[in-house]
Amino acid sequence: MPDPAPILRRLREILSIPGDRVGKARRISSAIHEGGFPWVGLYDGETLLAWSPPGPSPEKKAVLKIPIEGFGFLEAASDGNTDDRLCLERCAEAIRPLWGA
């Protein structure tokens, strides 16, 4: 499992800097990707807001789709294990301010 602490720290940094929402969404998806997930998509409702393309990493077994209550969802390639899901759930909660929540 990727260590959530550095990912969450980076997400807080991204949300604290001035900038447009789509630019922040792109940086957020990149930060989660760099934190250990082969590809990441961030959706506003059903509309893709930002994504990080797949990198040169081993094939993953699952795609985890984590709802961001009332706003959209975070989707990422994963091994499908509980630790990955918990990490992504923490990320989803951390990025709710992107929607003004």
Task: Give residue-wise pLDDT tens across range 45-101.
Answer: 889 999 887 766 556 678 999 999 889 999 999 888 999 999 999 999 999 999 986
At residue 21, does pLDDT exceed 70? yes
**What is the reported pTM?**
0.91
User: Which SS3 state, helix, strand or coil, does residue 65 take?
Assistant: strand
Pairing of strands 72-78, 40-44: antiparallel
Nearest of 43, 18, 16 to residue 29 by alpha carbon:
43
φ/ψ bin of 60: left (φ > 0), alpha (ψ from -120 to 50), beta (otherwise): beta
**pLDDT value of position 87:** 96
Nearest of 100, 52, 31 to residue 72 by alpha carbon:
100
Question: If you average pLDDT over residues 9-19, what whole number do you get?
Answer: 96
> Mind listing the pLDDT tens digit for each residue in 28-39?
999 999 999 989
